[in-house]
Structure 1
Amino acid sequence: MEKKNKATDRTLTPDGSAQDRVNSVDPFGFQRSKHFDYEAYEELMSEYLVVLTRRSIKWSKLLKGKSKVQRNVKIKRYVRKGIPNEHRALIWMATSGAQDQLEKNPGHYQSLLGAQHDPKLVETICTDLNRTFPDNVQFQKTANPCLQKALYNVLLAYGHHNPAVGYCQGMNFIAGYLLIITKDEEKSFWLMDALLGRILPDYYSPAMLGLKMDQEVLGELVKVKIPGVWQTMTDQNVMWTLVVSRWFICLFIDVLPVETVLRIWDCLFYEGSKILFRVALTLMHHNQALIQEAQSLPDICQNFKQITNGPFVDQCHTFMQNIFIEPGSLSMATLTKLRVTCRSRFVAEEES
């Protein structure tokens, strides 16, 4: 049941401004559910706003109006502590290499939009446009501007830029999130290129080998780091793809709260795919007792759904501190080694 604070009909937003409750829309344009707990949110934001204000001052001092940022230890530390929304597009572009690609390829995005379009690609993208964030006011046809047109352009351009991938479901949500933050088609396009081309290769290719492989890698990590959870999954004969594929393919969109997803993406653009493993391992490690209670497949599915809700994931700042502590050490070298093992297993299975 929704709690209401009768003393006020306004709620705080991450930029510190107030917002009418009757709008029931969060700062990113998402409509709140009718069960939204405003009281708990105001309590959470009153603490988080102190963090955001402190981070904003530090970032402004660091950037000093600069439009370019070099990757270094200090920037990495700052990214882990959170990027203020006003600097997100700049930092994502710089740390992911997207800005370099944009500058090296002037006019490339517009040339893709102006080229002859593949009718099949157009049809597939158009089918998903209305399914993309129907609960976000910025994607509704009555919005001005309506982000659906920008979303169509970004997906179409990317489909022609990377024909090996083209378009597949899940990409619309990623492009949509990028547009919400950057408010810029070309930047969103190059950030898509960084994510799908370099950070998460083969996640969205027709065979989705990268995605399948990383789900197996996660299973291997759970076996070592959270053996009780691994044993439960094994006992119930549940494949990892059943419970975590959405986490990976949508990069936690619609799985975790918006502010938490954006904090995850801050680190994802800087540190790469190992962040997805850190988040997944933290969710399971923190909730291992609940997962291990499962006595059946439906129990496991329900418990995995449950662990992505509640105060632990709502408190994004604390949650992000936890992802660098709870799973323990996790190097790219370890991931690379496990990926090689899992890939060879896939190849052997296909050949047999």
Structure 2
Amino acid sequence: MEKDKRATGGRTRSPDGRARSPDGRAQDRVNSVDPYGFQRSKHFDYESYEELMSEYLVVLTRRSIKWSKLLKGQSKVQRNVKLKRYVRKGIPNEHRALVWMATSGAQDQLEKNPGHYQALLGAQHDPKLVETICTDLNRTFPDNVQFRKTSNPCLQKALYNVLLAYGHHDPAVGYCQGMNFIAGYLLIVTKDEEKSFWLMDALLGRILPDYYTPSMMGLKTDQEVLGELVKVKLPGVWQTMMDHNVMWTLVVSRWFICLFIDVLPVETVLRIWDCLFYEGSKILFRVALSLIHHNQALIQQARSLPDVCQNFKQITHGPVVEECHTFMQKIFIEPGSLSMATVTKLRATCRSRLVAEES
């Protein structure tokens, strides 16, 4: 994982010259771990990071005050135009779990199914499921101190529980690679197993249908949908892909299957997820289209298939994605109009084509 990309980890410089996290805790400027527990690389640029965060902290503080006034200490939120605008501008860390739970429907499911999570953990477990999950535990965020066996508390046990419960909750999905990173991110944010479980249910069951089924038809479909959107909105890029016979799955599968985890900086990913839980899967297309739109000249310079692949890796790095607040403003402007009706129609077309090809 590229820790140098984690520029917006949530800290800035305090008056004494030390790094300060969003919750106000001063930390040593050479701290090698970001506020989410991820180890920084030895090449991490602290000067650029602190310069960037000195500006972003002003945004974070302003948003935090507005959110506190909006919520007024309540644990419920009403979906409306104002809330949507607030979500797009970013949810402060202290309110993130509450708002994700409320806007995604996860809180409703938790309340309608009291004791369900614990019952799943207490039931007899499928040995094959247990083995598969255990195999991936040590591979989940090896660069995050919270997932190391030596840490206290260690999130590996919580991760195991969430994945095991979900595997029995939705046997059609069970466990697929990629789910461990999503569950891990949810635990980092919520610090709560049951909430992470119900947020997984919201993501995999409703927001991203068929992404993690054995056929991964939903995932394959959405990669093709992105191709169709690029064809209309960025025809030069689409032509480059055709000229070099590059399949979309080759360059964007990680974007979709990991919901930009390990692709973009952690703070940027969390801002994307703020909108994903509220507005649904079309946010993934907005992010993908913005990345491609901003780098279309670079992509079109490619002279071979390896060039295209290398350029797609390159476009997920640099100041554009590190400045998460500016980037999130761009995703609602640069791709132009993109309705859920358009996405639904394209999904039907692409799915039919894929089913025909596989039959």
TM-score where L is the length of structure 1 = 0.97
Residues 198, 33 of structure 1: CA spacing in aligned structure 2 closer, same or farther, 3 A cutoff? same
Task: Name which of 136, 156, 163 aligns with 2:164.
Answer: 156
How far apart are 1:20 and its partner, in Å?
1.7
Amino acid of the residue matched to residue 120 of structure 2?
L
How far apart are 1:347 and its partner, in Å?
1.8
2:191 counterpart of 1:207? no
Summarize the alignment of residues 161-172 of structure 1 with structure 2, pairs less than 5 Å apart.
Answer: 161-172=169-180
**Aligned-partner Cα distance in 1 for 2:240–2:18:** 45
Amino acid of the residue matched to residue 41 of structure 2?
S
2:236 counterpart of 1:228? yes
2:262 counterpart of 1:251? no
Amino acid of the residue matched to residue 287 of structure 1?
N
**Aligned-partner Cα distance in 2 for 1:180–1:231:** 40
2:324 counterpart of 1:316? yes
RMSD: 1.3
How far apart are 1:67 and its partner, in Å?
0.6
Task: Name which of 74, 82, 92 aligns with 2:90.
Answer: 82
8 A Cα contact 1:232 1:292, kept in partner: yes
**Aligned-partner Cα distance in 1 for 2:172–2:291:** 33
Summarize the alignment of residues 87-102 of structure 1 with structure 2, pairs less than 5 Å apart.
Answer: 87-102=95-110
Determine the structure 2 residue equivalent to 1:286.
294
**Aligned-partner Cα distance in 1 for 2:234–2:252:** 16
Determine the structure 1 residue equivalent to 2:68.
60
Which structure exhibits the higher relative contact order, with contacts defined as CA atoms closer than 8 Å and separated by 6 or more residues?
2
2:54 counterpart of 1:46? yes
**Aligned-partner Cα distance in 1 for 2:43–2:354:** 44
Determine the structure 2 residue equivalent to 1:128.
136
Determine the structure 1 residue equivalent to 2:145.
137
Task: Name which of 69, 72, 79 aligns with 2:77.
Answer: 69
Determine the structure 1 residue equivalent to 2:22.
14
**Aligned-partner Cα distance in 1 for 2:177–2:355:** 25
Determine the structure 2 residue equivalent to 1:119.
127
Summarize the alignment of residues 308-347 of structure 1 with structure 2, pairs less than 5 Å apart.
Answer: 308-347=316-355
What are the Cα deviations for residues 111-157 of structure 1, in whole angstroms up to 9, with x where unaligned? 00000000000000000000000000100011110000000000000
How far apart are 1:17 and its partner, in Å?
3.1
2:198 counterpart of 1:190? yes
* SS of match in other structure, 1:223: helix
8 A Cα contact 1:139 1:147, kept in partner: yes
Aligned residues: 347
Determine the structure 1 residue equivalent to 2:271.
263
How far apart are 1:70 and its partner, in Å?
1.2
What are the ranges of 5 or more consecutive residues in structure 2 without an aligned counterpart? Answer: 5-12
**Aligned-partner Cα distance in 2 for 1:329–1:37:** 37
How far apart are 1:9 and its partner, in Å?
7.1
8 A Cα contact 1:16 1:49, kept in partner: no
**Aligned-partner Cα distance in 1 for 2:247–2:209:** 22
2:52 counterpart of 1:31? no
8 A Cα contact 1:12 1:45, kept in partner: no
Larger deviation: 342-351 or 124-133?
342-351
Amino acid of the residue matched to residue 27 of structure 2?
Q
Residues 12, 293 of structure 1: CA spacing in aligned structure 2 closer, same or farther, 3 A cutoff? farther
How far apart are 1:330 and its partner, in Å?
0.2
TM-score where L is the length of structure 2 = 0.95
How far apart are 1:22 and its partner, in Å?
4.1
What are the Cα deviations for residues 256-282 of structure 1, in whole angstroms up to 9, with x where unaligned? 000000000000000000000000000
Amino acid of the residue matched to residue 37 of structure 1?
D
Larger deviation: 257-266 or 16-25?
16-25
**Aligned-partner Cα distance in 2 for 1:13–1:216:** 40
How far apart are 1:302 and its partner, in Å?
1.0
* SS of match in other structure, 1:106: coil
**Aligned-partner Cα distance in 2 for 1:175–1:84:** 20
2:358 counterpart of 1:350? yes
What are the ranges of 5 or more consecutive residues in structure 1 without an aligned counterpart? Answer: none
